[in-house]
Amino acid sequence: METLKTLLLSLLLTLMVTAVHGQNGNYIKLREAFKTSYQKEAFEKWQDAINALESVYTADSYECNLRLGWLYYSAGNQTESMTHYQRAVELKPFAIEAKFGLIYPIYAMGNMEEVKKLYTEILTIAPNNTQALYQLGSVHFYQQEYEKASKLFSKVVDLFPFSYDALIMLAHTNFHLKKYREAKVLYNKVLLYNPDDAAALESLRLLE
């Protein structure tokens, strides 16, 4: 009986060691594939960078899907980019990283309503994410939805009161909303950041 136990224990240890070696080997291949993809990307050899990762790709890898989403987007293949970014989103639904990535191909395809939906989803998870607040505000601004844009830009300015991008966009938004006093205050703050800012100086001239 003791001999049988010893044999079983030895077999179990052998299987465990084999599994660990297999996992280590797979990881080394994965790391080398990522390294090659970065090297190829540096020279904008997008298909070579994609091929390097496709050789080790598994559908349940968040990292592979995220990276392939970016590479396919860079290569101009928006359909494949969306597919991989969407898989990454499904693998980690509470992460905002892949959602930001998914916006790239969707924006490139001109689907602005889906872009707004994704930024809104990001803000549901991370309400104070200034990148999402600013970008969604910009989408609303250029669609002439100034009230919605104002709320988003105002929140960025609350968090970063001396941020040039948010200040100038909130100033422009107030200008379009005919809130001229508020716009003037904001344009003057912009000029503290950049005393020669052409957009702020021209807008203030129009407000005189």
Read off the pLDDT of residues 112-149 as tens digits, 9 standing for 90 and up: 999 999 999 999 999 999 999 999 999 999 999 999 99
Is a pLDDT exceeding 50 seen at residue 100?
Answer: yes
Across 21-46, average pLDDT: 90
What's the pLDDT score for residue 17? Answer: 43
Residues 138 and 91 in one domain: no
When pLDDT is cut at 50, 70 and 90, the band that residue 24 belongs to is confident
Q: Is the four-CA dihedral 91, 92, 94, 95 of positive or negative sign?
A: negative
When pLDDT is cut at 50, 70 and 90, the band that residue 21 belongs to is very low
Domain count, the chain: 2
Is a pLDDT exceeding 50 seen at residue 20?
Answer: no
What's the pLDDT score for residue 22? Answer: 47
When pLDDT is cut at 50, 70 and 90, the band that residue 25 belongs to is confident
Share of the chain above pLDDT 90, in %: 87
The answer to whether residue 77 is domain-embedded is yes
Residues 189 and 150 in one domain: yes
Q: Is the four-CA dihedral 96, 101, 105, 110 of positive or negative sign?
A: positive
Measured at the CA of 26, the angle between CA 66 and CA 28, to 5 degrees, comes to 85
Task: Say what the pTM is.
Answer: 0.85
Residues 89 and 134 in one domain: no
Across 159-165, average pLDDT: 98
Whether the Cβ atoms of residue 116 and residue 139 lie closer than 8 Å to each other: yes
Last residue of a domain, which of 78, 104, 127?
127
Residues 155 and 196 in one domain: yes
Q: HEC profile for the chain? A: CHHHHHHHHHHHHHHHHHHHHHHHHHHHHHHHHHHHHHHHHHCCCHHHHHHHHHCCCCCCCHHHHHHHHHHHHHCCCHHHHHHHHHHHHHHCCCCCHHHHHHHHHHHHCCCHHHHHHHHHHHHHHCCCCHHHHHHHHHHHHHCCCHHHHHHHHHHHHHHCCCCHHHHHHHHHHHHHCCCHHHHHHHHHHHHHHCCCCHHHHHHHHHHC
Residues 113 and 171 in one domain: no
Residue 74 belongs to domain with CATH number: 1.25.40.10
Last residue of a domain, which of 127, 149, 179?
127
What's the pLDDT score for residue 14? Answer: 52
When pLDDT is cut at 50, 70 and 90, the band that residue 31 belongs to is very high
Is a pLDDT exceeding 50 seen at residue 79?
Answer: yes
Domain that includes residue 102, residue range: 25-127
